[in-house]
Amino acid sequence: MSRWVLHVDLDQFIAAVEVLRRPELRGKPVVVGGDGDPAKRGVVSTASYEAREFGVHSGQPLRTAAKRCPDCVFLPVDADAYNEVSERVMAVLRDTGQPVEVLGWDEAFVGVDTADPETFARALAADVRAATELDCSVGIGENKLQAKIATGFGKPAGVFRLTSATWFDLLGDRPPDAIWGIGAKTTAKLATLGIGTVRELAAADPDRLAREFGPMTGPWLVLLGRGIGDDEVDPTPYVARSHGREVTYQRNIADWTQVTAEVTRLARQVETEVDRPVARVVVKVRYAPFDTVTHGVPLAGDFAAAALAALALFEPGVPPRPVRLLGVRAEFADVDG
């Protein structure tokens, strides 16, 4: 018996849920995002595999998705439906009696003691399908990092194992952003240091990277390059660290007085929705086209007043830059770390 970490990831989850509700959409390019109107501002939450073949992907503006795939079916986000299906999936995982660490609607880690993790993973995927009619991919690793990356090799609807013994064979010659947790900016900075592959990152001097990225991040990047990560699956229920609201406006706001009024309105809305002590109030402003800035202040009295104090840290400019999105977020005081 060996200890393994499994990463269970629902394939094209949101789009798949919508296809279950609308079987006539099966096999068609489906995009879910915003209120489902690509003529309005909004971003893609999920694209079906058929839509991805046209270059549509998560986080992309709906208008761009419509240009790339005019025949796509656009649907609005229905969070309640996705929550309901997600809860059924996680119940299946927990019924194994193994620790389950939920990462979101569509993915979770499962800790397993078994001599045959592939058989366990395939049975688990079959149970998920029987309960929900949804396919999932399962990555197997000695730690969370390996399991998470392995899932990508198993998609769609497959099982794949990645271990320390196979790490460099699979990833060694790939760029660092092939690793979960390393993005394009970090990869670009590593390239300036002569580090262009996972193998080179693993061989890098931790002290050198500490000087470039900081005393914690630098050595951590080297560990990632070596395939070393956390192997403890924490079944503790997720506790939100914050709660907020934001609005993308169909027409840019050029009047800072209106910005102030909107921030006040959002602050009042958020205030009525939180039921835990708040430590900070954060305001987010996205200027046209996509320049985003956030500022926060400690909450020391009236919630809306704190939001306006955070807004006062912004420079509206002369003339003010048009604003396309505003958000207000409450950061809770009773969250460790």
Residue-wise pLDDT for 176-231, tens only, equals 999 999 999 999 999 999 999 999 999 999 999 999 999 999 999 999 999 999 99
Which residue in 101, 107, 142, 271 is the catalytic one? 107
Active site (annotated) includes residue 271: no
Mean pLDDT of 256-282: 95
CATH number of 31's domain: 3.40.1170.60
CATH number of 219's domain: 1.10.150.20
Mean pLDDT of 129-136: 97
Out of 79, 111, 127, pick the residue that ends a domain. Answer: 79
> What is the pLDDT at residue 335?
58
Identify whether residues 152 and 247 lie together within a single domain: no
Identify whether residues 7 and 140 lie together within a single domain: yes
What DSSP line would sit under 41-72, residue for residue? S-B-SEE-HHHHTTT--TTSBHHHHHHH-TTP
Percent of the chain with pLDDT over 70: 99
Identify whether residues 6 and 99 lie together within a single domain: yes
**Can you tell me the distance from the alpha carbon of 195 to that of 199, in angstroms, rounded to the nearest whole number?**
9
Put residue 11 in one of left, alpha, beta given phi > 0 → left and psi -120 to 50 → alpha.
beta
Q: What is the pTM of this model?
A: 0.79
Domains of the chain: total: 4
- If pLDDT is split at 50, 70 and 90, which confidence band does 336 have? low
Identify whether residues 71 and 85 lie together within a single domain: no
Identify whether residues 280 and 203 lie together within a single domain: no
Identify whether residues 46 and 144 lie together within a single domain: no
Identify whether residues 7 and 155 lie together within a single domain: yes
Can you give the residue range of the structural domain that contains 72? 14-79
Pairing of strands 323-332, 107-114: unpaired
**Can you tell me the distance from the alpha carbon of 235 to that of 94, in angstroms, rounded to the nearest whole number?**
9
- Gyration radius of the chain over CA positions: 22
> What is the pLDDT at residue 337?
44
Q: What is the pLDDT of residues 144-158, one digit of tens each?
A: 999 999 999 999 999
Mean pLDDT of 24-46: 92
